[in-house]
Amino acid sequence: MLTKNRILASLPAGHGETLLRLSREVSFPRGATLFVEGDPADRFWILRSGTVALEAHVPGRCAQALDTLGHGDLVGWSWLFPPYRWHLSGRAVAPVHAYEFDARAVRELCEQDPVLGNAVSVAVARVVAHRLRAARSRLLEPNLSATADAER
């Protein structure tokens, strides 16, 4: 499992197994809400299977889907950064099987083991950076096409 999961595999030797021992296996049916924007971010997940949509509340409209996550992806990063509140909502769009982690227990373990703490912080930061780059690309894609069309 560790070699198949880029987040756990990126941790220093033995730390992925240590972190995995803090998890429990959970399942969510299609349509289940995993977390809600603004609520306390007290857990996170690594997906074993299924799909989770990340959604933003847009006043006066339906929730806006921003991204979808699948096998091996980290679901949730708000648990690592104060004030520990979800910035988005998460909903299962296909049945989900995941490893669920108690955020407080992981933060405490990271405080006790600075090597692990640094590695977890870097791994989560990489996920956030990747998602920001992907969101930027999605936002620019229609504009780049329109600019290319206008130049023709």
SS3 assignment for 8-21: HHCCCCCHHHHHHC
* Full residue range of the structural domain in which residue 63 is found: 2-151
**Where residue 143 falls among pLDDT bands split at 50, 70, 90?**
low
Max CA distance (Å), the chain? 60
Query: CATH number, domain at 56?
Result: 2.60.120.10
pLDDT at 7: 83
Does the bond joining 83 to the residue before it have cis omega, within 30 degrees of 0? Answer: yes
Domain count, the chain: 1
Q: What local confidence, expressed as pLDDT, does residue 110 receive?
A: 95
Residue that is written with structure tokens 């930027």 in the block:
136
Q: What is the pLDDT of residues 76-134, one digit of tens each?
A: 999 999 999 999 999 999 999 999 999 999 999 999 999 999 999 999 999 899 888 88
pLDDT digits (tens, 9 = 90+) for 19-55: 999 999 999 999 999 999 999 999 999 999 999 999 9
pLDDT value of position 125: 92
pTM, whole model, 2 decimals? 0.84
* Residue 76 near residue 43 (C-beta atoms within 8 A): yes
